[in-house]
Structure 1
Amino acid sequence: MRRLFPPSAEDTGTAGLSPFEDRAWDLDELADAYAYPARPEQAGAGGGWLRANMVSSLDGAAYHDGRSRALSSDADMRIFGVLRGLADAVVVGAGTVRAEGYRPARAREAFAARRAALGQPPTPVIAVVSARLDLDFDRPLFTEALVPTILVTGAQAPADRLAAARAVGAEVVVAGEGARVDPARVVAALAGRGLTRLLTEGGPRLLGQFVAAGVLDELCLALAPLVTAGDAARIANGPGLAVPDRFSLTSVVEEEGFLFARYSRDRLG
């Protein structure tokens, strides 16, 4: 893995990493490179910092044959694990939970000290955004989680599904009036529970809703050296913005042709 941007180690706070040097990075170096803002509760919209982690083919596909794993790599999975290791909560749409067979996050010794120092539980919470709660509550995501899985839903979610979720220990967070989830309220609703370092892994529809609501603070984008054609969705799919939202490039690293770019919005100015 080699860092392409910024060229100065001092600019990244990763002293000792020479620009363009191609070598293995350990998990601590990756964790430092992808650290959240020191005070995420003050930096982002709604009281938290919402980071997205997505992979795309060169021709813009967010997945192949229905799953994003086909576009991934070993380096992508290492970064995926680091981003999870830093987060308070992983925010994901119900469709992605079903398509990707989501399981609970696992505790990793490599992040235990960091998480303990920040007062985080051993693993991030998985927060599933779903209006209808059309989920299988017998799956390990709900029955084997070290910390209770959260369901983010509307105030009028189906009563029978709410009862089924609570019966397996899932917690419910309301972020919307009526039967729908308001994406603009998801960050604030989770931050209100002390979950300020947020990571969304999609899917494209959920990310599109966050973009449209103006609550996305950061995008970590893995660009795979693959072309797929087909009709797969882009990484953010949904209603377009009247005016494109501008993000600034923070860093780029490369491994085996994969580019791992990080973009952020300055909300402090």
Structure 2
Amino acid sequence: MRRLFPLTAPSVPAPDSENTVVGAIDPTDREWTLDELADAYAYPAADAPERAGRTGWLRANMVSSLDGAAHHEGRSQPLSGDADMRIFGVLRGLADAVVVGAETVRQEGYRPARAREAFAARRAAAGQGPAPAIAVVSAGLGLDFTLPLFTDPLVPTLVLTGAGAPPDRVARARAAGAEVLFAGEGRGVDPARVTGVLAERGHTRLLTEGGPKLLGQFAAAGALDELCLSLAPVVAVGEAPRIMNGPAVAVPERFALASVLEEAGFLFTRYRRA
């Protein structure tokens, strides 16, 4: 893996040695450790300027083919690769909660997040539990509550829905062990309220893995703070949607490039709200 942006710092001889450099970034192509990736993708501190006025930080992680497909035949795995999966694991290892749409849960066969020893010390120091909670966004709650995601998670699965959701489905979700949170007055979720509702439960470092419809709703509502986009060196063609598929915005919102990594032809980009 190589860092392509920010640009590497120039080598500066240390005062006490002609061979030591100060502040240089290693540009060589090598496999980064999980700790290095975790440092590179760390959430901004609560008092960071970019967090001003926001109850939490919502970042998205998505993969796209060169021709803009968000998945192939309904699943993102065919677009992924080893480095992409390492980053996927790191982003989960840093998050308080993973926010995902109901359709993605069904298509991708979501399971509970697992605890990983590599992130145990980092999570403990940050006051986090052993693994992130999975927060499923669903209006109708048409979910299979007998799946391990609901019956056997390390930390309780959250279900985000509207106050007008079917009462019988709400009862079934709770009976399965899920915690139901209301983030909207109607049947569905108001995407602008999700960050605040989860922050009330202590979940401020948020990661969404889509799908495209949910991510589009977050972006249109101005709720998306950061996008981690993996550009895969493949062409998928077909009729798959792009990574965001939601209501149009009156004016396109500007995001600023934060970093670019490269490995095996994949580009791992990170953009933050400008």
What are the superposed Cα offsets for residues 188-245 of structure 1, whole Å, 9 maximum, x if unpaired? Answer: 1111111000000000000000000001000000000011111100000011111101
Normalising by structure 2, we get a TM-score of: 0.92
The alpha-carbon deviation at position 44 of structure 1 amounts to: 6.4
SS in 2 for 1:220: strand
2:99 to 91, 94, 98: 91
Q: Summarize the alignment of residues 66-215 of structure 1 with structure 2, pairs less than 5 Å apart.
A: 66-215=74-223
Structure 1 unaligned residues grouped into runs of 5+: none
- Separation in 1, partners of 2:138, 2:264: 37
Residues 1:256 and 2:238 are matched in the alignment: no
Give how far 1:169 is off. 1.1
Partners of 2:47 and 2:144 lie apart in 1 by: 33
Moved more, 90-99 or 165-174: 165-174
Mean Cα deviation higher: 28-37 or 155-164: 155-164
1:5 aligned partner: 5
Richer in helix (by share)? 1
Q: CA deviation at 1:263?
A: 0.3
Q: Does 1:22 align with 2:29?
A: yes
Instruction: Please list the CA deviations of residues 54-85 of structure 1 after superposition, one character each: whole Å capped at 9, or x if unmatched.
Output: 00000000000110011000000000000000
Q: After TM superposition, what 4+ stretches of structure 1 lie above 6 angstroms from structure 2?
A: none
Residues 29 and 65 of structure 1, relative CA distance in 2, 3 Å threshold: same
- SS of the residue corresponding to residue 47 of structure 1 reads coil
Cα distance, 1:143 vs structure 2? 1.1
Q: Is there any run of 5+ residues in structure 2 with no aligned partner, and where? A: 11-21
Letter in 2 for 1:115: R
Q: State the shift of 1:19 in Å.
A: 4.7
Aligned residue for 1:251, secondary structure, equals strand
| Change in CA separation of 1:17 and 1:240 when aligned onto 2, cut-off 3 Å | farther
The aligned amino acid for 2:230 is: A
Name the TM-score, length of structure 1 as normaliser: 0.94
**Are the counterparts in 2 of residues 40 and 197 from structure 1 also a CA contact under 8 Å?**
no
Larger Rg: 2
Q: For 2:244 and 2:55, locate their aligned partners in 1 and report how far apart those are by CA, in whole Å.
A: 23
Aligned-residue RMSD, C-alpha = 1.6
Secondary structure of 1:66 counterpart: coil
Maintained 8 Å contact 1:44/1:217: no
Q: How does 1:42-81 map to 2 (within 5 A)?
A: 43=51, 46-81=54-89
Instruction: Note if contact 1:249-1:264 (Cα within 8 Å) is conserved in structure 2.
Output: yes
The yes-or-no answer on 1:36 pairing with 2:32 is no
Percent sequence identity over aligned pairs? 72
Q: Work out whether residues 45 and 215 of structure 1, in 8 Å CA contact, stay in contact via their aligned partners in 2.
A: no
- On the 8 A contact 2:64/2:230 being kept in 1, the answer is yes
Residue identity matched to 2:4: L
Cα contact 2:65–2:79 (8 A) shared by 1: yes
1:180 shift after superposition: 1.6
Q: Secondary structure at the match of 1:3?
A: strand
Give the 3 Å change call, closer, same or farther, for CA 179–46 of structure 1 in structure 2: farther
Q: 1:217 to 1:162 in 2, by over 3 A?
A: same
Partner amino acid, structure 2, of 1:206: L
Asked if the contact 1:40–1:49 (Cα under 8 Å) also holds between the matched residues in 2, the reply is no
1:20 offset after TM fit, Å?
Answer: 2.8
Change (3 A) 1:200 1:19: same
* 8 Å CA contact retained: 1:217, 1:264: yes
